[in-house]
Amino acid sequence: MKAVTHAAQAESKPGSGSSAERSLRLLALLAHEGRALSLAELAARLALPKGTVHRICTQLVATGFLARDVDERSFIVGTAMRQMAFDTLNHGAVRGLRHGVLAELVQQVGETCNFTTLDGAQVLYLDRVEAKWPLRLTLDIGSHVPLHCTASGKLFLAQLPPDERDALIGQLSLTPMTPTTLTSAPALRAECDSILRQGYSCDREEFMLGLIAVAVPVCDRSGAVRAAIAVHAPTARMSLDSALSHLPHLQAAAARMSALI
């Protein structure tokens, strides 16, 4: 029998239930969709009256679990919801197992490795293990970095459905961080197409001069990309070609990580 997702369960239930249950179903639907939904869409998908959905959304916005999109008639998950998801992903035994995967990978490649996910229009660092070198870039867990100039960020962009990807690229500022940063939408779209074909993403000193990175996707059991594992290093110690030679190690670590998300 085919497994039913939480979002499908949220939509399949009738419009009755407690206020708490309705709020949770609405949050589950938005989290699953990964995009803004209008009041009308939410009401239709949840089989609830618009007035009821409006009241729930107002309460959730006030508490930070929802936020209004650029179009104020639509809603996205808010900072409180993202923080709760972040805390959930980074607690207990599972976090320890994920950290162990990264630590083993660092032993294999000899450079710092990261575990990241997409958070709105940025990359969120969920975990990292530092290589034991005096020269390194330090980014704390919970830090955010841009999409358009990082290996993980471009990987997440590439995995989005084309219409969603184009819409998101159209909203990004594409700030030139270095002379090699991709600062035009056509160039970034072409890069995304290349990433899809090859199955990995590179940062060619686009985020910071003298720093390269390679990222591979981490998929859930349904095959959807939920996170990324990346290695980054100063060019003084590792060339991009050398980093790419570690793709088998990165991909093996990503396969192990898939069972832990």
CATH 3.90.380.10 fits 90-258, yes or no: no
pLDDT band of residue 85 (cuts 50, 70, 90) is confident
Q: State the alpha helices, DSSP H only, in 63-184.
A: 79-89, 92-109, 151-159, 162-171
Does 19 score more than 90 pLDDT?
A: no
Sketch the domain layout of the chain as residue ranges.
6-78, 90-258
Question: What is the CATH number that goes with domain 6-78?
Answer: 1.10.10.10
CA distances from 11 to 23, 25, 37, 120, 171 (A): 12, 8, 14, 23, 29
Alpha-carbon dihedral sign for residues 155, 161, 164, 167? positive
What does the pLDDT read at residue 75? Answer: 92
Does 121 score more than 90 pLDDT?
A: no
Task: Give the containing element (helix H, strand E) for 196.
Answer: helix 185-198
Residue among 88, 17, 75 nearest 47 (CA): 17
Residue among 41, 49, 38, 40 nearest 73 (CA): 38
> What is the rounded CA–CA span in Å between residue 54 and residue 243?
50
Are domains 6-78 and 90-258 of this chain identical in fold? Answer: no
Find where tokens 């060619």 sit: 204
Phi, psi for 241 (deg, rounded to 5): -60, -40
pLDDT, one tens digit per residue, over 238-257 is: 999 999 999 999 999 999 99
Cα 209 from chain centre: 24
pLDDT, one tens digit per residue, over 197-216 is: 999 999 999 999 999 999 99
Does 94 score more than 70 pLDDT?
A: yes
